[in-house]
Amino acid sequence: MKKKILIVLAAYVVYCLGGVGLIALGYADRWYFMPYWSIKGPNSDKSGLSADGPWIAYAGPGGVLRQVEQQDKDLFIRQDTLPTLAGQQIRCFVATTGRDFSIPLREPAQPEPAIYAEPDRTLVLSDIEGNFAGLEALLRGSRVVDKNLNWSFGNGHLVLLGDFFDRGLQVTECLWLVYKLEHEAARAGGKVHFILGNHERMNLTGHFKYVRRKYRVNADTLQWPYEQWYGPQTVLGQWLRSKNVVEKIGSSLLTHGGLSTEVAALRLPLVQLNAEARAYLQRAATDTMLTSTQRLVNMPPLSPDWYRGVAQEEVSAADLTAMLKQYEVNRLIIGHTPVTEITALYGGKVLAIDLPHQERTDGKQPLQALLLEQGQPIIIDSEGRRTAQVSP
């Protein structure tokens, strides 16, 4: 009996010391030693309790809505039971801009198709990182939405190339706007494509290194762990899990990070590649038994949401040409790797679009996005100005 107790105590000490080490190395920002007792690492993030939400967790035919609401300068915790969800109208308030908008809830999302014909117009942007003001400026300047944040792009397509999570403070609000526009676009004959980046997939698989302090404080105040906010039993969590990591739209292949030669060598049809990525999101966080295919599709540094080799021009021109030919496209469009302007690589076969949106928002400078008209790339800014076509 004593031996068992000593073994348990030794294991607990190792667990505690391991947690301290992970915090010191920056791999964790909080470590629980027992329920409701934890330590946190040093963090310069001073964000705290503020308006946020709503979040809706499924409960039978309905759900439970939680929200941190702001009325004047006061904050209130709201928790409501919704008897049904589909058709229910909820509201999202953006405290930093004073905006609010109504969102009709829908039936659970089905997996998205991976291949689309060439639209007349496609706006592509990436790496918004919780910057609602920047997102609104780009969408309004490009005439994708009107002044009331309603879809005004007709049969055009909007492609959001990942990393809406982390770093910023309006992640929830950005997600609800995308969810709303997806519905409105479909009714108008258009389409919203939300392609998962590495930060979406990190948040969906229990990796929260870049989550801002605000969300931890809000979670503690709501008494609802952040780990559950985007779980499969929530409206936004289920919706996000229906999304792809790679799509083909007309003559373009689009993914957040890039396409490695190792992933291309698997020769997976896009439907299967996305199915592998989607299946990984359903796995338990402790499940580390991956096949070689699962590891290539889902894990850094070679997975489509993480890979930087194309952006850094480490892939040979011949290999890139072969990959494009394999998927029957003319170009690859990527985010993830920062650039100061929309950049054409490999003679225009790759367009890199991860721009410094937050810095330009803070500096009151125009933001830029990529506009494809009949497949031809043009730069458009948040004031609606177009520049010449993107040139190599």
Give Cα 27 distance to the centre of its chain. 20
Confidence (pLDDT) at 321: 98
Q: For residue 125, is pLDDT > 80?
A: yes
Note the maximum CA span of the chain.
77
Confidence (pLDDT) at 17: 80
CA dist list (Å): 103 to 134, 165, 182 = 20, 20, 11
User: In sequence order, what DSSP letters do the residues of 237-271 get, joined into one string?
Assistant: HHHHTT--SEEEETTEEEESS---HHHHTT---HH
| Per-residue model confidence as pLDDT tens digits over 126-169 | 999 999 999 999 999 999 999 999 999 999 999 999 999 999 99
* pTM, full prediction: 0.87
* Mean pLDDT score, 29-58: 72
Confidence (pLDDT) at 230: 97
Confidence (pLDDT) at 7: 75
Domain 115-389, CATH among 3.60.21.10, 3.40.50.1820, 3.40.50.150, 3.20.20.70: 3.60.21.10
Helix-helix angle 132-141:171-187, to 10 degrees: 30
Q: Are 166 and 212 in contact (CB under 8 A)?
A: yes
Q: What percent of the chain has pLDDT over 90?
A: 79
Which of 43-52, 230-239, 375-384 is predicted with the least confidence, judged by mean pLDDT? Answer: 43-52
Q: Are 136 and 182 in contact (CB under 8 A)?
A: no
Q: Average pLDDT over the chain, rounded to whole?
A: 91
How many helices (H) and strands (E) in the chain?
Answer: 11, 19
| Per-residue model confidence as pLDDT tens digits over 325-334 | 999 999 999 9
| Per-residue model confidence as pLDDT tens digits over 267-294 | 999 999 999 999 999 875 556 789 999 9
CA angle 72, 52, 235 (to 5 degrees): 140
Q: Which amino acid is at 278?
A: R
In DSSP terms, 78 is beta-bridged to: 67
Nearest to 215 by CA among 30, 391, 37, 370: 30
User: In sequence order, what DSSP letters do the residues of 336-378 get, joined into one string?
Assistant: EEE-SS-EEEGGGTEEEEE--HHHHHHTTPPPEEEEEETTEEE
Confidence (pLDDT) at 35: 37
Q: Are 320 and 334 in contact (CB under 8 A)?
A: no
pLDDT category of residue 16 using cuts at 50, 70 and 90: confident
Q: For residue 8, is pLDDT > 90?
A: no
Q: For residue 102, is pLDDT > 70?
A: yes
* Mean pLDDT score, 336-362: 95
Residue 184: CB atoms within 10 Å? 17
The burial class, CB within 10 Å (0-12 / 13-18 / 19+), for 70 is: middle
Give Cα 7 distance to the centre of its chain. 42
Residues 233 and 62: their CA atoms lie apart, in Å, by 11
| Per-residue model confidence as pLDDT tens digits over 65-78 | 999 999 888 999 99
| Per-residue model confidence as pLDDT tens digits over 183-237 | 999 999 999 999 999 999 999 999 999 999 999 999 999 999 999 999 999 999 9
pLDDT category of residue 18 using cuts at 50, 70 and 90: confident
- Domain spans, the chain: 2-40, 52-104, 115-389
pLDDT category of residue 30 using cuts at 50, 70 and 90: low
Mapped onto helix, strand or coil, the DSSP state of residue 234 is: strand
pLDDT category of residue 21 using cuts at 50, 70 and 90: low
Confidence (pLDDT) at 289: 85
